[in-house]
Amino acid sequence: MRRPLIAGNWKMHKTAAEARELARAVALGCAGQDGLDVLLAPPYTALSAVAEIARPAGLLLAAQDMHWAEQGAFTGAISPGMVAEWASHVILGHSERRALFGETDIEVNRKLHAAFAQGLLPIICVGESAEQRDAGQADAVVAAQVVAAFEGIPADEAARAILAYEPVWAIGSGRACDPAEAARMMARLRAGLAERFDARTAQAMRLLYGGSVKPDNIRDYLAAADIDGALVGGASLGAESFNTLLRLSASAPPG
């Protein structure tokens, strides 16, 4: 049985003081809630502040990105070791990193190797653009991103990775992917992982849907057998909406 995971990606929102406040409210909101992993991904500058609240509350913590090198002359970047001081997880290959910062599949793969070497658990993001979907390339694009990200990664490591399917056109647009289509894409993803690795590895991996997830649609995604949780942007920025989303997820029947 895969444990559901709801992750809040705060992107470039929240000062350390604001992050502390939101983390406290989320910790209160999910106190006593069982059967669900909750993860927060604040900006780097708020990682230590949120860690102090997240650890005792049993919330997981992720950085939103990192460099693959252990250290060096990489102004503005942070290393896997720096992330690991505070967080257990790291988001890699988010479409905003790919589209706005020119991150390539090769870099995502380097970061994935570096995450495992550091003992960090990666949340790898894949997803097609609107143009790619309109051209009928969604399945192929996503499959190719997965193959490239996992190049050289052994099955026992892959089994511990989390994969997030986030169609680019659904992110921050309010145009959430139709749940049946998300379910189809993610069943394809899991089948692809079984081919690339083996059935056991594919079954062990948690797959998240991301893109305009809100309290009013979260249960439609969780109802799908291959959707094990969600990566949430906008709706994770307010305590009320995120806590509502967590409550709805904790009581959702298993997909």
Stretch that binds ligand 13P, among 74-82, 100-108, 186-194, 226-234 (CB under 6 A): 226-234
Residues contacting ligand 13P: total by CB under 6 A: 14
Q: Does 212 bind ligand 13P (CB under 6 A)?
A: yes
Tell me the catalytic residues. 94, 166
Stretch that binds ligand 13P, among 24-32, 54-62, 110-118, 229-237 (CB under 6 A): 229-237
Residue 113 in tokens: 């190797």
Selected binder of ligand 13P within 4, 6, 9, 124 (CB under 6 A): 9
Q: Does 210 bind ligand 13P (CB under 6 A)?
A: yes
Cβ(9)–Cβ(50) below 8 Å:
no
| Per-residue contact string for residues 55-94; x = within reach of ligand 13P by CB under 6 A | ---------------------------------------x
Selected binder of ligand 13P within 171, 177, 185, 205 (CB under 6 A): 171
Based on CB atoms, which residue is closest to ligand 13P, 39 or 232?
232
**Contacts for 181 with CB less than 8 Å, ≥ 6 apart:** none
Cβ(84)–Cβ(120) below 8 Å:
yes
Q: Does 231 bind ligand 13P (CB under 6 A)?
A: yes
Distance CA 172, CA 178 (A): 15
- In the complex, residue closest to ligand 13P by CB: 233
Q: Does 145 bind ligand 13P (CB under 6 A)?
A: no
How do beta strands 5-9 and 37-41 pair? parallel
121 phi and psi, to 5 degrees?
-95, 120
Stretch that binds ligand 13P, among 74-82, 102-110, 129-137, 208-216 (CB under 6 A): 208-216
Based on CB atoms, which residue is closest to ligand 13P, 89 or 201?
89
| Per-residue contact string for residues 90-119; x = within reach of ligand 13P by CB under 6 A | ----x-------------------------
Based on CB atoms, which residue is closest to ligand 13P, 201 or 230?
230
Distance CA 63, CA 111 (A): 12
Q: How far is the CB of 64 from ligand 13P (least distance, A)?
A: 8
Distance CA 227, CA 178 (A): 13
Name the H helices within the chain: 16-29, 47-57, 80-84, 95-101, 105-118, 130-134, 138-149, 155-158, 179-196, 199-204, 218-222, 239-250
Based on CB atoms, which residue is closest to ligand 13P, 189 or 197?
189
Identify the CA nearest to 160 among candidates 211, 200, 187, 110. Answer: 200
User: Which of left, alpha, beta for 253 (phi over 0: left; psi -120 to 50: alpha)?
Assistant: beta
Q: Footprint of ligand 13P on this chain (CB under 6 A)?
A: 9, 94, 166, 171-172, 210-213, 231-235
